Amino acid sequence: MTPQMLLAVAAGGALGSMGRYAVGVLLARIMGTGFPWGTLAVNIVGSFVMGLLIEAAALRGVMSGEARAFVFVGVLGGFTTFSSFSLDVVTLVQRDQVWAAGAYLAATVVVGVLALVFGLFVARQMLT
């Protein structure tokens, strides 16, 4: 763990967190606050981008350790947050919105994993 790695993660994390916040605010304005649309959106988009970039980096092998730390741990780690996801599920359950909590949980996990697989597929199609 070098100072350069820590700075890369910190800088990426700041950008990712700002992006997550911006998406959350935007979707709350558009969709309302009764359902955690922002967290759902960033987890799905982040999963797709993670798949796309991980595969692109693997196929091209051009990312330095610092760049990987910046993008994957920092930016995407700050942007996609399953801690917020967990809180959202519990909050919905505590509001007696059990069906919404279950739908949110299933959609985030299933669609997020499918988005990552789709990102892998897109990267392979574009880069091979």
Binding residues: 77, 80
Identify residue 116 by its one-letter amino acid code: L
3-state secondary structure of 44: helix
Residue for token digits 């597929």?
Answer: 121
- Beta carbons of 11 and 77 less than 8 angstroms apart: no
Residue for token digits 């947050």?
Answer: 81
- Beta carbons of 88 and 36 less than 8 angstroms apart: yes
- Beta carbons of 27 and 38 less than 8 angstroms apart: yes
User: Buried b vs exposed e over 57-84: b needs ≥16 C-beta within 10 Å?
Assistant: beeeeebeebebbbbbbbbbbbbbbeeb
| Sequence ranges of the binding site for Na(+) | 77, 80
